[in-house]
Amino acid sequence: MSSPQENDITMATPQAKVEAETPVPVPAVSTPEITDTPTATETAEATESTESAAKRMRPKIEKEDTSSYIGQKRSKVRGNIRGADKYKGKRTDGWAAGTRNAEDAAKAAALASGEITAEQTSTADNDEEKEARIPKRKVALLMGYCGTGYQGMQVNPGAKTIEGDLFKAMVEAGAVSKDNADDIKKVSMMRSARTDKGVHAAGNVVSLKMIVDMDDVIGKINAALPEQIRLFGYVRTLNSFNAKVLCDSRVYEYLLPTYVFLPRPPMAEPLASTQEETSTTIRTDLPGGSMAWDENVHISTPEEMVAKRSYRIDEATLAKVREGFAAYVGTKNFHNFTIGKNFKEKTCQRFMMSFTVSDPKMIQGTEWLSLKVHGQSFMLHQIRKMVSLIVMLVRTDTPLKLIPETFKANKINIPKAPSLGLLLERPVFDTYNRKVKDSHSPLDFTPYSETMEAFKAKYIYEGIIKEELEFNRFDEFLQILDGHAHKYNLRYLNSEGIIPEEAIIKRGDTLVAESDAESDASS
């Protein structure tokens, strides 16, 4: 479309057109002499004219329609404009420490000052080159370990842990690259079940990204591990596999000598409240490794222990033990079987699939029972407190009808049994195995069952039996309970099978510390 000005010209008369084309006389103006060098005044005027032109143009740039840009592109355009306006082509600050430009500048300065030579610069560059990248694969490691001497499974700065030794061995064997050797999170390591101080595992699963393209990777890792930690093998998994999240359930075993079910000797009447607060007398002749530091705690003599170890559980008592552990099966509120939880917290609801008790078995002159509990998940101290309650009920002849009362709102104190007998049997991945049955191998310990049993017998069972025979751990646990029965507030152990008012823990109540500071497996 023509502009209005063009229309006016087109519609003008011929006479007007002639007048418009007639040249207008211009008055004569004297021309100044042209010199090669501009004067100072002319230079200043030219500079001012250039800057004015630039300022007139800038609003046009800043007002540029950027509505077609989105996200970072639009921000980048505006940022460039503002950056150019700020720096005007010059960097006003130094390069950030640790950047490539800063390193290059430092090397150039050192080279110019003669501090280093060109050859040294080249050598340093070669040393900084990273090792060749080797592909990592997501795998599940199938392993077992004896927890004696370790502060638990999970990595904990400053503590000796199973994961810590495993990770160091993998780096040494080349299964984890040096680039990732400084942080376990770089390989996404995760365990299916966490075991705490002194707790063993006949089978556990650890998921991570590992270098597997090497000969006998499992053998090389085992060679760098202590004998009480063994890898049985590995399975390639989905890249999204997480051993903790995808674990359906866990099976734990607890080894228990049957003499713990011997009837408790007659107890003295509870002390008066004023007497309960008297100071404890510390034993000066404490045997090595013993925890019975209070003189109120009886230490069994060798002759007494011989008599206790000669005990053989009868059918009636064994039936009561089995009935007691079966009462845990199902979904229950286990708030009384952990610490720091109250009845209303949903996390206290746990599902136990089974709790079985084996037939008695003789090992080195002592009769043992193997308890196996299969649960979806467990809380801190839960298994050890479950075992402790049944032991206390049977040896005090307290009716088993007390067990359902522990799942109710009333809070009571249940001491935890020794960690010595507890071990993780295996984690279960049935749901994952069904999902990947057509693409990946299942997570199953069956192919390694013989190796696992041999490892368990040598490094776990043998260690448990040895420590029990040397230190009488389970007898000591019972003697500590009996010596401090009034402080533990165990008045729920009675012939009626009820929880009396004085046995209920109220807000602000304090109880004696438990027999040891060790903690249970939790998941």
- Secondary structure of 176-209 in the HEC alphabet? CCHHHCCCHHHHCCEECCECECCCEEEEEEEEEE
The answer to whether 252 is a known ligand-binding residue is yes
Which of 238, 139, 247, 245 minimizes the C-alpha distance to 440?
238
DSSP string, 58-102: HHHHHT---TT--HHHHHHHHHHHHHHHHHTT---SPPPTTSHHH
Total Cβ atoms within 10 A of residue 111: 14
What distance in Å separates the CA atoms of residue 386 and residue 390, rounded to the nearest whole number? 7
What is residue 3's three-state secondary structure? coil
Cα separation, 414 vs 385, whole angstroms = 6
Q: Please give the positions annotated as active site.
A: 196
Question: Residue 128: which residues within 8 A CB-CB, separation 6 or more?
Answer: none
Burial class (CB in 10 A: 0-12, 13-18, 19+), 294: middle
Query: Residue 10 phi/psi, 5° resolution?
Result: -65, -35
Give the closest residue to 180 by CA, choosing from 109, 223, 237, 131: 131
Q: Angle of helix 100-113 relative to helix 118-128, nearest 10 degrees?
A: 150
Burial 242-252, CB ≥16 within 10 A → b, else e: bbbebbebbbb
What is the rounded distance in angstroms from the CA atom of residue 478 to the CA atom of residue 285? 20
Binding residues for substrate: 252
- Residue numbering of the annotated binding site: 252
